[in-house]
């Protein structure tokens, strides 16, 4: 009687193991090395070109992903301290990319050139809610001294890997 109970299990075991093969192949690497750290569309070593039209002007930034760190539940390309310093010091060109796994959204923020009013703080934020489109498209916000000045559209294109 025990043989009858074990036989169906033994016959089904190769099918069960075969079903695990695709998962096992995704988890293993042929050369023994892991790929770059990645969260959502962002991966270490990437360079993104982000730009759009806002307030009748074309704006563009290059955003590199040297690392991905967890900053309050969001994966960002720089630490909270570096981000604070970059934006607080008003370093034109300083940029941060982030991915929010709870909202499944990405955001690219950069410090813009204030022009003649060098004491002004200009920040652009490209918020992307739909990560399945190529290129990534979203809403571009233009802030001056923390106040929203205008809203437009933006696009993020993966332009390379280092």
- Where residue 95 falls among pLDDT bands split at 50, 70, 90? very high
Asked whether residue 100 is domain-assigned, the answer is yes
Give the confidence band of 64 by pLDDT, cuts at 50, 70, 90: very high
CA gap 33, 43 in Å, rounded: 16
Residue 69 lies in a domain: yes
In a domain, 15, yes or no: no
pTM given for the model: 0.76
Residue 58 confidence (pLDDT) above 50: yes
Give me 4's structure tokens.
Answer: 């009858």
In a domain, 11, yes or no: no
114: left (phi over 0), alpha (psi -120 to 50) or beta: alpha
Q: Is 146 exposed, middle or buried (0-12, 13-18, 19+ CB in 10 A)?
A: exposed
Tell me the Ramachandran region of residue 90: left when phi exceeds 0, alpha when psi lies from -120 to 50, beta otherwise.
Answer: left
Beta carbons of 128 and 99 less than 8 angstroms apart: no
**6: in domain:** no
Q: Is residue 23 part of a domain?
A: no
Can you spell out the DSSP letters for 102-144?
TTTEEEEEEEEP-TT-TTS-EEEEEEE---SSSSEEEEEEEEE
Find the mean pLDDT for residues 2-15. Answer: 45
Residue 5 lies inside a defined structural domain of this protein: no
Question: How many domains would you assign to the chain?
Answer: 1
**Do 41 and 106 meet the contact criterion of CB atoms below 8 Å apart?**
yes
Residue 30 has pLDDT above 80, yes or no: no
Spatial distance between the Cα atoms of 152 and 18, rounded to a whole number of angstroms: 50
β-strand partners of 140: 126, 152
pLDDT of residue 100 exceeding 70, the answer is: yes
Helix (H) or strand (E) holding 21: helix 2-27
Domain coverage including residue 157: 38-161
Q: In whole angstroms, give the CA distance from residue 154 to residue 48.
A: 12
Whether the pLDDT of residue 15 is over 50: the answer is no
Residue 121 maps to a domain = yes
């Amino acid at each position: 009687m025990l043989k009858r109970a074990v036989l169906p299990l033994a016959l089904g075991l190769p099918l069960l193991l075969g079903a695990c093969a695709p998962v096992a192949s995704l988890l293993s690497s042929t050369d023994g090395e892991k790929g770059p750290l990645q969260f959502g569309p962002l991966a270490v070593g990437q360079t993104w070109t982000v730009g759009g039209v806002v307030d009748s002007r074309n704006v563009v930034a290059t955003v590199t992903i040297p690392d991905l760190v967890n900053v309050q539940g969001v994966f960002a390309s720089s630490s909270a301290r570096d981000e604070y310093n970059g934006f607080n010091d008003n370093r034109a060109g300083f940029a941060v990319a982030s991915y929010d796994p709870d909202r499944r959204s990405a955001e690219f923020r950069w410090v813009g050139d204030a022009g003649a009013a060098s004491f002004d703080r200009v920040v652009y934020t490209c918020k992307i809610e739909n990560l399945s489109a190529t290129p990534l498209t979203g809403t571009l916000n233009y802030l001056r001294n923390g106040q929203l000045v205008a809203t437009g559209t933006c696009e993020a294109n993966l332009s390379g890997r280092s």
